Amino acid sequence: MKWTDVRDIAIELADRHPGVAPLSVRFTDLHRWVRELPGFADDPEKSSEKVLEAIQMAWLDEVE
């Protein structure tokens, strides 16, 4: 997985962190959680606030 795999990342986050409200997660924690996902293999420096926000919104869609 790479930073651009927003939907796949969101699905994994929803599975790994049930009960967590996506909008309550700080971007620093979100960045770390994404990097810790199995199969994630991208440069940590390639993320941005825009990418993290997209992941957060997709994760919110998954849990609603």
Give the pLDDT of residue 20: 96
Would you place residue 48 in the very low, low, confident or very high pLDDT band (cuts 50, 70, 90)? Answer: very high
Vertex 57 angle, CA 56 and 62, to 5°: 95
Say if residue 54 is exposed, middle or buried (CB neighbours under 10 Å; 0-12, 13-18, 19+).
middle
Residue 57: inside a domain = yes
Residues 13-40: tens digit of each pLDDT: 999 999 999 999 999 999 999 999 999 9
Would residue 41 count as lying in a domain?
yes
For tokens 């997209």, name the residue. 54
For residue 24, the domain's CATH number is 1.10.10.600
Domain count, the chain: 1
Residue 1 inside a domain? The answer is no
Which residues span the domain enclosing 48? 6-63
